[in-house]
Homo-oligomer: A and B are copies of this chain.
Amino acid sequence: MRTRFQQGLDELREKLLKMGGMAEQAVDRACQAYRERDLSLCHRVLENESQINAAERDIDGVALDLLAMQQPMAIDLRFILAVVKINADLERVGDQAVNIAERVMDMMELPPAELPVDVPRMASAASAMVQRALESFIEGKAELAQAVLEMDNVVDRMRDEAFISLVRTMNQNPAVTRQALDALLIARNLERVADHATNIAEDVIFWVRGADVRHSFGIQSTLGGAS
């Protein structure tokens, strides 16, 4: 029984990594679509959303089955709960990719404009955060996850800079207001991708620290105070 449960945990981990790959790819594609003004890439991002949603439901189902299968140990429980939460964040990374693709589609109806924002740089920073957060999860390392939390400030600063320069552009050149606004919203979507990576990193810390807590004084006792 334990072996089958262990297999289930491995399956859960693999499925989550695959889900992470899909979400990252969606962000990368949406930003490539921005760079290359490629409508077909936008459509691919939109089409893949349902796959990502299906993967989310599948992972939740496996998590639920594992919880129902036997009474997991506290460390496994925390792992499974972390997966459920990371799963939800990855699905929303996919949503952000869809939002970016929609903004790119809007921009493509307008004349191209030179804008003071480095979307590809911001995209690779946000995407790297998701990747590192997943790495910290695979390796179960709280210190890697901690590094992700620090990267979040960098992306926030990029967003603030983009915000300031794009508002200036709107003021100085109202003809490109809509393009500037699209770019600003893309920057905001990328900031949200970074936020989801931060959430994932926090869940990894919750899971890893939980392991420590369990080793030191046991986790089952904390409900004692409940009325």
Chain A interface (Cβ < 8 Å from any Cβ of B): 7-8, 11, 60-72, 74, 77-78, 81, 84-85, 88, 167, 170-171, 174, 177-178, 181, 184-185, 188, 199, 206, 210, 219-220, 222-223, 226-227
Of B11, B185, B220, B226, which one neighbours A62 at CB under 8 angstroms? B226
- Judging by beta carbons under 8 Å apart, are A219 and B65 in contact? yes
Cα separation A92 to B164 with both chains bound (whole Å): 25
- Judging by beta carbons under 8 Å apart, are A68 and B62 in contact? no
Of B77, B181, B199, which one neighbours A67 at CB under 8 angstroms? B77
Residue ID in chain B nearest A185 by CB atoms: B188
- Judging by beta carbons under 8 Å apart, are B84 and A219 in contact? no
Of B71, B74, B184, which one neighbours A70 at CB under 8 angstroms? B71
* Number of identical protomers: 2
- Judging by beta carbons under 8 Å apart, are B65 and A67 in contact? no
- Judging by beta carbons under 8 Å apart, are A220 and B65 in contact? yes
Residue ID in chain B nearest A7 by CB atoms: B226
In the bound complex, residues from chain B placing their C-beta under 8 Å from that of A206 are 60
A7-B226, A84-B85, A85-B85 provided; 8 other pairs, C-beta below 8 A? A11-B226, A11-B227, A61-B222, A64-B81, A69-B223, A84-B84, A85-B88, A171-B177
Cα separation A18 to B169 with both chains bound (whole Å): 44
- Judging by beta carbons under 8 Å apart, are B8 and A226 in contact? yes
* With contact pairs A84-B81, A88-B85, A206-B60 given, residues A65 and B174 touching in the complex (Cβ less than 8 Å): no
Cα separation A184 to B178 with both chains bound (whole Å): 13
| Nearest chain B CB to A1 CB, angstrom units | 12
In the bound complex, residues from chain B placing their C-beta under 8 Å from that of A178 are 167
Residue ID in chain B nearest A73 by CB atoms: B68
